[in-house]
């Protein structure tokens, strides 16, 4: 643990510091996918969301709290390495604004409340929420993140759970469409996070985190990213027969565009610029395709 952490009086702590622990940006982006799963479940199972508003509230609130709790626990566990990375060295666990014990209690409390709310939605939702939490906090953060370059794949399991939780809150039986949403999220994450790993390669190296660009090379990382983007195209089109022409056209266009950008990386001289473009594209891809899934079932 770094001994240079600044001692800060508890009186200086604000609600924004606790909010920072939850990685609110990550939580909000995942809430889009959780809601998409919930809405699609209601559509295909012929369930009226307004008539079952308690399931919507419990499902969404539970999902958000579990994710926020997991992110807070991630901050607690990574407090010994976050000071080594520019993108994480301002976290309250690094600056000392929030004592370690409070961070741990905060993360555990949010996680427990999230599990409780998911239990009020459905048993399937709480099981999925618990699995996602264990994968993120224990299997990813505590274990594989620090031991293997496969950490990105392991972390993708927890990151792909939100649409399943949303679906399970309405349809505990989990229609096959729910698993396609899971697969889309699972395959989307490696190229997204590997782009980030390329951008922050030296920071990960300094922190001793064996991300693929650190233990291998940018060339290998690029090939892996392109492979996943290529695989994402047919997976996203598994929904085409049911979702219609508009979804099919836009999903195909988004996928081909991302693949073209990925292939361009083999010819671009500036790897960092390419990694930034891939990272931004991945964020737009995820947001557009999941919002699209909802919109085409409304209009």
Instruction: Find the length of the chain.
Output: 299
Flag whether 3 is in a domain: no
Q: Containing H/E element for 239?
A: none
Rounded Cα distance between 77 and 196, Å, is 20
Digits of tens for pLDDT over the chain (299 positions)?
443 444 444 557 777 888 888 888 889 999 999 999 999 999 999 999 889 999 999 999 999 999 999 999 999 999 888 888 888 888 888 888 888 899 999 999 999 999 999 999 999 999 999 999 999 999 999 999 999 999 999 999 999 999 999 999 999 999 999 999 999 999 999 999 999 999 999 999 998 999 999 999 999 999 999 999 999 999 999 999 999 999 999 999 999 999 999 999 999 999 999 999 999 999 999 999 999 999 999 97
Which tokens hold the place of 22? 């939850």
Enter the pTM of the model.
Answer: 0.90
Q: Which value, in Å, is the radius of gyration of the alpha carbons in the chain?
A: 20
Structural domain that includes position 161: 14-295
Rounded Cα distance between 285 and 258, Å, is 8
Rounded Cα distance between 269 and 10, Å, is 48
Flag whether 5 is in a domain: no
Among 287, 288, 41, CA closest to 166:
41
Which tokens hold the place of 55? 């399931």
Which tokens hold the place of 168? 């399970």
As for how many domains the chain has, the answer is 1
Flag whether 2 is in a domain: no
Q: What CATH number did the domain enclosing 189 receive? A: 1.10.600
Flag whether 8 is in a domain: no
């Amino acid at each position: 643990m770094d001994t240079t952490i600044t001692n800060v009086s508890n009186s200086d702590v604000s609600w924004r510091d606790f909010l920072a622990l939850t990685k609110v940006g990550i939580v909000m982006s995942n809430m889009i996918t959780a809601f998409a799963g919930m809405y699609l479940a209601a559509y295909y199972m012929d369930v009226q969301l307004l008539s079952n508003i308690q399931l919507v509230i419990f499902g969404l609130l539970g999902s958000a709290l579990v994710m926020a709790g997991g992110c807070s626990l991630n901050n607690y566990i990574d407090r010994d390495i976050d000071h080594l990375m520019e993108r994480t060295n301002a976290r309250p666990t690094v600056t000392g604004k929030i004592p370690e014990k409070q961070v741990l209690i905060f993360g555990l409390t949010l996680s427990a409340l999230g599990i409780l709310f998911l239990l009020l939605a459905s048993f399937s939702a709480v099981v999925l929420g618990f699995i996602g939490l264990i994968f993120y906090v224990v299997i990813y953060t505590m274990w594989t993140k620090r031991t293997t370059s496969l950490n990105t794949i392991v972390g993708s399991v927890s990151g792909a759970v939100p649409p399943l939780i949303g679906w399970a809150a309405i349809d505990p039986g989990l229609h096959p469409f729910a698993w396609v949403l899971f697969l889309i999220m699972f395959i989307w994450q490696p190229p997204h996070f590997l782009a980030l790993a390329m951008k922050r390669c030296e920071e990960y190296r300094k922190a001793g985190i064996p991300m693929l660009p650190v233990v291998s090379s940018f060339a290998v990382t690029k090939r892996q990213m392109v492979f996943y983007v290529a695989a994402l195209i047919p997976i996203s089109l598994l929904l085409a027969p049911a979702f219609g022409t508009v979804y099919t056209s836009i999903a195909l266009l988004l996928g081909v565009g991302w693949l073209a950008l990925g292939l361009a990386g083999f010819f671009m001289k500036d790897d960092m610029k390419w990694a930034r473009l891939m990272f931004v594209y991945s964020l737009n891809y995820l947001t557009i395709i999941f919002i699209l899934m909802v919109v085409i079932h409304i209009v």
